[in-house]
């Protein structure tokens, strides 16, 4: 049987994560036999990435343990792998602060939040952005600086500047997935400012990029964003059809975030999923 490198296995695991098949990704990584400590570190970081992503959508609580294992495997390495691990840790810590008690409902804005926690997360995101080894990683760090500013600190202007930077860097890198993130949040801001036509264009473009990347949970999130916009503009029938699709697929994935949001829209009490 042909042997696969750790990098190839990690890449396959990431493709499964994009599809929302977190358990299969974890099983693949668990069965892989690294040839040396370097490969062990590559696989451990990929496992942490999968666990943190699953934790975000399903609130499993498994991200911290996987991060600890990856930290031990990476050791004192200061290269790209260490950067990626710190970025995954930032994503985990951001989600932990956003979801708070872990009841499945995110908490938006600064009210009732420890301001120091949000400020420290901002500093970490900015440090990663400034030290990023390439445009794609800079785009991802800039995006997280944006969601921390907007969703945790309530600073939409700072968030917008970060999303614009993430979009520029994503375009430079040819990274359609991070471009989709930036366009989604810029689209939400356009809708809040009253330009629903421009918002729809941005959200639809984000949807296309996510479909090309094969990222099922993010496609569903974007479908829900378009459903919200349709509801706001009076296209109730389309909004309800889209929300029902999100609810059905979300249940199949085991999602704990989009499903309640879709049910709220269907019952007439929806709020943004951010």
The reply to whether 221 and 202 lie within a common domain is no
Q: Which tokens hold the place of 34?
A: 């690294």
The reply to whether 90 and 137 lie within a common domain is no
The residue whose two tokens read 């019952």 is 267
C-alpha span between 59 and 80 (Å, rounded)? 28
Last residue of a domain, one of 155, 187, 209: 209
Q: For the CA atoms of the chain, what is the radius of gyration? A: 18
Name which of 229, 191, 228, 186 is nearest 206 in CA terms.
186
The reply to whether 120 and 184 lie within a common domain is yes
The reply to whether 93 and 137 lie within a common domain is no
The reply to whether 52 and 96 lie within a common domain is yes
C-alpha span between 25 and 39 (Å, rounded)? 16
Angle at 100 between CA 94 and CA 104, to 5 degrees: 100
Range of the domain at 43: 1-105
Q: What is the pLDDT of residues 117-162, one digit of tens each?
A: 999 999 999 999 999 999 999 999 999 999 999 999 999 999 999 9
Last residue of a domain, one of 105, 123, 153: 105
The reply to whether 135 and 82 lie within a common domain is no
Output the pLDDT for position 20: 92
Are 95 and 56 in contact by the 8 Å Cβ rule? The answer is: yes
Output the pLDDT for position 262: 92
The residue whose two tokens read 């099922």 is 216
C-alpha span between 58 and 176 (Å, rounded)? 24
Say what the pTM is: 0.89
Q: Which residue ranges in the chain fall short of pLDDT 70?
A: 1-2, 101-104, 269-274
**Domain total for the chain?**
3
The reply to whether 69 and 148 lie within a common domain is no
Output the pLDDT for position 104: 60
The reply to whether 26 and 48 lie within a common domain is yes
Output the pLDDT for position 1: 34
The reply to whether 121 and 66 lie within a common domain is no
Last residue of a domain, one of 105, 129, 155: 105
């Amino acid at each position: 049987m042909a042997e696969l490198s750790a990098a190839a296995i990690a890449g396959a695991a990431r493709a499964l994560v994009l599809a929302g098949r977190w358990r299969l990704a974890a099983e693949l990584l668990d069965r892989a036999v690294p040839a040396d400590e370097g490969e062990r570190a590559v696989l451990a970081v990929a496992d942490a990435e999968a666990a943190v992503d699953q934790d975000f959508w399903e609130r499993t609580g498994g991200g911290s343990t996987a991060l600890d294992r990856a930290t031990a495997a990476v050791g004192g390495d200061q290269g790209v792998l260490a950067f990626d691990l710190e970025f995954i840790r930032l994503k985990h810590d951001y989600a932990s602060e956003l979801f708070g008690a872990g009841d499945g409902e995110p908490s938006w804005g600064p009210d009732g939040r420890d301001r120091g926690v949000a400020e420290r997360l901002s500093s970490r995101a900015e440090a990663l952005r400034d030290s990023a080894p390439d445009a794609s990683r800079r785009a991802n760090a800039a995006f997280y600086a944006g969601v921390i500013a907007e969703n945790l600190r309530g600073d939409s202007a700072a968030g917008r500047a970060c999303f614009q930077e993430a979009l520029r860097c994503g375009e430079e890198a040819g990274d359609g997935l991070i471009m989709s993130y930036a366009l989604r949040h810029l689209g939400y801001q356009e809708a809040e400012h009253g330009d629903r036509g421009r918002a729809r264009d941005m959200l639809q473009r984000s949807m296309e990029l996510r479909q090309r990347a094969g990222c099922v949970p993010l496609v569903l999130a974007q479908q829900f964003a378009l459903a919200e916009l349709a509801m706001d503009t009076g296209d109730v029938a389309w909004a309800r059809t889209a929300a029902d699709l999100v609810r059905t697929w979300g249940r199949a994935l085991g999602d704990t975030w989009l499903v309640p949001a879709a049910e709220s829209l269907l019952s007439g009490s929806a709020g943004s999923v951010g």
